[in-house]
């Protein structure tokens, strides 16, 4: 018996081996060869797909890392310094622009830190940290807290929170957070902080970050 192909399947010859049915004895050799190749193609694609999924790799993006960074740079943000204390009481602090609001009920915020940051183990394990939204006048502080190996606290005015977290003076807003959760994604660790206390000072314009540069001119309008 021989099944005829519908006009649709005749047009789409690629899927023909799946629906073409021959009586075993009469099937030409070319049919079985095509069928075997279609099966092998299917198996190969399934293996490739499963390897990509388990390794987390997709096809390479159609843009360069430079283009990606430049596009991200068009997203203007404020600048924060996030502080905590290590197990021996040593203060740590780092400049971070990846801060953002997450939830109102409960009060949650998020930020991310590169997996290579020296302060990462302390932020990962501390019970509390503080997020300082910097005022325009604090650009030198933002630069200091981004500088590798710099003494960041000796000449920086600060006092301790009830949990012993170093709180910087003169910021435009401060969020004192419980270290609620973290989640590794790509080359960064995403932190989720539960805000236990916050304050803000409208009279202090914020420091802004855009296209890789910090701006002290404040907001227009």
Ligand X SMILES: Cc1cc2nc3c(=O)[nH]c(=O)nc-3n(C[C@H](O)[C@H](O)[C@H](O)COP(=O)(O)O)c2cc1C
Which of residues 83, 84, 96, 131 is near ligand X by CB under 6 A?
96
- Cα 81–chain centre separation: 18
Judge residue 209's burial from the number of C-beta atoms within 10 Å of its C-beta, 0-12 exposed, 13-18 middle, 19 or more buried.
Answer: buried
121 binds ligand X (CB under 6 A): no
Complex with ligand X: residue 17 or 166, whichever CB lies closer:
166
Among 102, 108, 146, 190, binds ligand X (CB under 6 A): 146
Phi, psi of 117 (to 5 degrees): -65, 135
CA dihedral sign, ordered 109, 69, 140, 93: positive
Nearer to ligand X, 117 or 192 (CB): 117
Is residue 186 near ligand X by the rule CB under 6 A? no
Tell me the backbone φ, ψ of residue 2, rounded to 5 degrees: -135, 125
- Is 83 a binder of ligand X (CB under 6 A)? no
Interface region with ligand X, contact rule CB under 6 A, candidates 33-41, 106-114, 124-132, 178-186: 106-114
Residue 211, classed as helix, strand or coil, is coil
What 3-state class would DSSP assign to 180? strand
Using rule CB under 6 A, residue 138 touches ligand X: no
Binding residues vs ligand X (CB under 6 A):
79, 94-98, 112-114, 117-119, 142, 145-146, 148, 209, 214
């Amino acid at each position: 018996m021989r099944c005829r192909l519908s006009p649709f399947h005749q047009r789409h010859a690629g899927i023909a081996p799946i629906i073409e049915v021959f009586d075993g004895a009469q099937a030409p050799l070319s049919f079985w060869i095509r069928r075997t190749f279609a099966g092998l193609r299917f198996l190969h694609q399934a293996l490739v797909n499963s390897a990509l999924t388990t390794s987390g790799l997709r096809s390479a993006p159609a843009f360069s890392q430079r283009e990606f960074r430049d596009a991200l740079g068009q997203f203007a943000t404020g600048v924060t310094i996030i502080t905590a204390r290590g197990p021996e009481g040593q203060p740590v602090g780092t400049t971070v622009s990846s801060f953002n609001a997450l939830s109102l009920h409960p009060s949650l915020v998020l930020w991310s830190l590169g997996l290579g940051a020296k302060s990462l183990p302390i932020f990962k394990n501390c019970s509390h940290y503080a997020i300082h939204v910097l005022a325009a006048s604090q650009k030198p502080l933002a630069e200091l807290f981004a500088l590798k190996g710099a003494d960041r606290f000796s000449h920086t005015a600060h006092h301790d929170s009830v949990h012993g977290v170093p709180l910087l003076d003169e910021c435009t807003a401060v969020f004192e957070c419980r270290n609620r959760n973290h989640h590794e994604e790509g080359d960064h660790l995403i932190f989720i902080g539960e805000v236990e206390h916050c304050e803000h000072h409208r009279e202090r314009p914020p420091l802004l970050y855009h296209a890789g540069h910090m701006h002290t001119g404040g907001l227009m309008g």
